[in-house]
A and B are shown apart, each in its own frame.
Chain A
Amino acid sequence: MAEQDWKANKRVFAAVSLPTLLWTLLFFVIPMAIVWFYSFGENKGLTEIEFSGTLDNYKRATEFLYLSIFGKSFAVAALVTLICLIIGFPVAMAITFASEKWRPWLLLGIMLPFWTNLLIRTYALMMLLGTQGFANKGLEALWGGASWFRTLVGLQPLPTWEPVQLLFNNFAVVFGLVYVHLPFMVLPLYAALDRLDRSLIEASLDLGAGHFRTIMRIVVPLAAPGIVAGVMITLIPALGAYLTPDLMGGTDSQMIANVIERQFKKANDWPFGAALSFILIYAMFILIALQAMRRKGPEVR
């Protein structure tokens, strides 16, 4: 049975459509529209904003400072996505080919951190990476070991250990974002690999290709839609990340979300913040449109 035309059963259609439509209109479309109008406004006095239809806010967003922050946010998000893909792909493979008994538990193992509070996860990571944290303690032990080994083979011992600054820099931001976004990558990859026809992999192996070659030539092309989905699902939230760069980053690790926040909380330049928000949203749309185009491509063949 196909979908019902809405006119065939107006009463039921009204009952199921009105609540959602009204809610979405009132609490999503209207607030977003207001931000959009704000982005064409200018500050008049402390709290007053005039909607003058000016494009100055967008012009200011193309200044070098803001363009470089956009560029940096994008580079960080892309790097995070790449690392997640490299770490996550073998994990997704392992889950796909795990036994029936283990698979759901492995999946749960990936999903449980995803359900745990983001702030708590970030805080846990900060504890570990601090100058007094375990990461530094571990490195210090390794350093001590290396130093001892050098004296053993008759070389000068290494200079005394200086704690490495692992927190409040760009490294920490990338590390934190990878930690937070890894489950986002693994789950769609798994969904794609799970649908794969295994006889194709077997055929490739039977015909003499090695495992690595089979993965690169057979598995990756067939799982491409899932890989693209995983990349998008990781890239989009990483691009708009606020908490990780705010808590784990240094003064030079600001990402675009932090700049937007500052316009609203400290700098009190709402129209400019609104313009930056919409540039970020447009960037998301472009990414999604690119994905949609890519998805259509192979089907045409």
Chain B
Amino acid sequence: MALFARTPRAPLEYSRTLWMRAWVGLVMLFLYAPLIVLMIFSFNDSKRNVVWRGFTTKYYEKALGNDVLVEALVNSLTIAALATIASLILGAVAAVMLWRFRFPLKGAVDGTISLPIIVPEICMGVAFLIFFAKWLEWPTDLIWPFNLGAIVIAHITFCFPFVTMVVRSRLASFNREQEEAAKDLGAGEWAVFRDVLIPHMKPALVAGALLSFTLSLDDFVITYFTSGPDTITFPVKVYSMVRFSVTPEVNAASTLLIILTIVLTAVALKLQGVKAIAETH
């Protein structure tokens, strides 16, 4: 760490000036301090969150022994996994459509597909509430995992446009001569898609999968409106816990989810390298 410059600073090396470093450091502190405090205090042996009374893992036992919380977590992970798989397929296919073809009303189709990115969550939540509860009269008493159907559909709808966006910007760098070469060598449409296009899209697919999974796991508002009275997801459960009482159990459950996020990010990094992931945004 060259906190104090050993070589003279070039004019454009702004990030080597002291006040710039202090600023970035403070911003990082601002972003991470609340999360780190939350994680540390999940091990605190006290009902009240603020005073350290010694190390304990009992709130983890309590959180993992809380059937509703565990069910909510399993539901959330199932929904996120299903929504990610479907979003990858729909999103990639839509990106190929928009990249490869010229067709009537293309602008309108393009706009409509990206609309879920900008429509406020609350409005989509309301739309799904009316659509599923009133219009389709979607049954709410199905057995697991079919009771998650409405939520999965809602999540796919707001996740896949992000996949489309990421994959499409990746496709822009595709050299179509590769496709022609494959066809000249006798590959059919499907073989070209599978053996040429998909390998090229892979970094975008990894990034898109990470994005969909975290977006789905993160979502509270849309799920809150879409879920029936008996279906609970992790954010919905944490919301009611935060709403009515702040307990170290929430800290423990949150810590587990933060660790999951970090693990997922690490896996994506391992697959694609830090640069590729960083550049998708």
Instruction: List chain A positions with a Cβ less than 8 A from chain B.
Output: 1-6, 9, 11-13, 15-17, 19-21, 23-24, 27-32, 34-35, 38, 87, 90-91, 93-99, 102-113, 115-128, 130, 132-134, 137, 179, 182-183, 187, 191, 198, 201-202, 205, 211, 236-237, 239-240, 242-243, 247, 257, 260-261, 264, 270, 273-274, 277-278, 280-281, 284, 288
Contacts and interface: CB of A to CB of B under 8 A. Distances in A.
A242 B125 CA distance: 11
A94 B242 contact: no
Given A4-B102, A98-B15, A106-B24, A132 B235 contact: no
A275 B99 CA distance: 36
Nearest to B241: A123
Contacts, number: 263
Nearest to A194: B279
A84 B78 CA distance: 35
Nearest to B41: A127
Nearest to A198: B12
Interface residues of B, number: 89
B140 interface: no
A10 to B, nearest CB: 10
User: A-B pairs with the 6 shortest C-beta distances?
Assistant: A240-B120, A124-B34, A31-B131, A31-B127, A6-B103, A20-B94
B2 to A, nearest CB: 10
A220 B50 CA distance: 43
- A2, A6, A278: which has the most chain B beta carbons within 10 Å? A6
B162 to A, nearest CB: 12
B128 A6 contact: no
User: Interface SS of chain A: helix, strand, loop or mixed?
Assistant: helix
B123 to A, nearest CB: 4
A95 to B, nearest CB: 7
A117 B261 contact: yes
A122 to B, nearest CB: 8
B211 to A, nearest CB: 8
B43 interface: no
Contacts of B49: 127, 130, 132-133
Given A239-B120, A281-B119, A108 B11 contact: no
Contacts of B261: 112, 115-117
Contacts of A211: 14
Contacts of B77: none
Interface in B63-97: 89-90, 93-94, 96-97
Nearest to A14: B97
A91 B50 contact: no
